[in-house]
Amino acid sequence: MKELDILLERFITQHQQSLSQGSWPELEALLQSEDDLLWDWLQDPASAAESPYCALLRQIRGGNA
C-alpha cells in the first residue's frame, strides 16, 4: 500500500538513529502483518489497543510511546 509506505518512510527517517540502536526487531515483526491489518491499526487507534505493537503504532502515528 502506497499510504503505508509514506507513513512508514516518514517514521523511519525521523527515528533512524534510535531504530538502529535496537528497535528494529519490533518494527520488523510489525511489518510482517498484513497490509489491511496494519492500515486499520494505524488509522484507528482503538483497533490497535489489542495489538502487541500498540506503543510502536502510536509512535508511527506521531504520538508518544
Whether the pLDDT of residue 4 is over 80: the answer is yes
Gap between the Cα atoms of 25 and 30, Å rounded: 9
pLDDT in tens, 13-52: 888 887 777 767 888 899 999 999 999 999 988 888 888 8
Q: Which three cell numbers stand for residue 55?
A: 506503543
Output the CA torsion sign for 8, 51, 29, 40: negative
Question: What's the pTM?
Answer: 0.77
- The domain containing residue 33 runs over which residues? 2-61
Gap between the Cα atoms of 20 and 28, Å rounded: 12
Gap between the Cα atoms of 33 and 60, Å rounded: 15
Number of domains in the chain: 1
Q: What's the CA angle centered on 46, arms 40 and 48, to 5 degrees?
A: 55
Whether the pLDDT of residue 55 is over 90: the answer is no
Whether the pLDDT of residue 59 is over 90: the answer is no
